[in-house]
Amino acid sequence: MSSKKRQLTGLVSVATALALCFTIAPGAAAAAPDPANEAADLIAEVAPDQGTVVGTTPKGDTLVSSTESGETVVSTDVDEPITFIQNDSDTGGVLEVPLPDEVQLEAPVVADDGTVFYEGVNGTTDVAVQTLADSSIRLQTIIPEGSGASVKFTYDFGADARVLEDAETGQVYVEQGDTIVAEIDDAWAYDAEGQPVPTSYEIREDSIVQKITPTRGTVYPIVADPKFITGTNNWFGGRFVAARFTIAETTRIAAGGAATAAIGTLIGMVPGPHTAIARSVLQGIGATLVLWAGGARALNKCVELRYYYIAHKAYGLYYSGTTKGCR
């Protein structure tokens, strides 16, 4: 063997020995998985319209994300709701969303990008909360393999909240008192390869239930979310009056026999200076109100007629709930 070959063989042996030393040395072990950052990376890769995630600041036992419109407050106690507080204390509202009952979670930790991450107990579904720069909030579930052929998550909004559905567009809103505090964006779910997974929302009383149905080709984990668009209470046009009709009244309006009386009831609620314009707007929507009421009955819900007297616009809204006047 030539001296050059012997030298090369010796170098390879030394390199191999060093590699083995570094491989087994305790200080050189591979870094442990970081579930929070892994979740944030997955969301950034597959979620539609990612947006810019706002960082968090610890305040006592909460994590606070601030935007121009308000603050998202996440408690370190998993039993406490996620809260968005609008900056305008006079007209602003408060959105409260407890974590879904269907999940069991560890205390939250914060990923590098500001995502608040709750790891699921014993490898079950994780939850990731993101406040985006536009003041919207994404409450995402990260669903592992073995979760079942169909998965559901329920989102409540507190005893005083109402979930309303626009009779014309189907858009869903959350209202506290007389303030709409959030618009709920369309349901979405994507798998680990960025492929869409069938999903939909169902309104049950004043809760939203998201159903996710994986297919044979779904690659886990799945990311799904409700996105709450917050930061303004002026979706429709400011101050309003509203007439809510029970299921029996909605049925009569749908039959065409009570629409005129219903509209007259609403006109009587409008403040004096705005009454003339209100009458001219509302007296022309009788046929539309009949259609709205029919749509409500098809969903086993009630209709609310609402008139925004600054914007001079009328809306039909579907609502339900025995404690909210529907029955």
Q: Which residue has the tokens 């409260």?
A: 96
Rounded Cα gap, residues 87 and 69, in angstroms? 6
Half-sphere exposure of 120 (CA within 13 A, CB side): 19
pLDDT tens-digit profile, the chain (327 residues) = 444 333 334 434 444 444 444 443 444 444 446 999 999 999 999 988 768 999 999 999 999 999 988 899 999 999 999 999 887 655 557 889 999 999 999 999 999 999 999 999 999 999 999 999 988 999 999 999 988 878 999 999 887 888 999 998 888 999 887 788 889 999 999 999 999 999 999 988 889 999 999 999 999 999 999 999 886 555 555 788 999 999 999 999 999 889 999 999 999 999 988 999 999 999 899 999 999 999 999 999 999 999 988 888 899 999 986 555 687
Task: Give the relative orientation of helices 247-254 and 259-267 as an angle to the nearest 10 degrees.
Answer: 120
Rounded Cα gap, residues 117 and 112, in angstroms? 11
Q: Phi/psi of residue 84, each to 5°?
A: -115, 125
Rounded Cα gap, residues 325 and 321, in angstroms? 7
Q: Phi/psi of residue 139, each to 5°?
A: -115, 95
Given CA atoms 99, 104, 110, 115 in this order, what sign does their dihedral have?
A: negative
- Domain boundaries defined on the chain: 1-30, 35-229, 240-324
Can you give the pTM of this predicted structure? 0.81
Residues, the chain: 327
Task: Give the relative orientation of helices 275-282 and 259-267 as an angle to the nearest 10 degrees.
Answer: 160
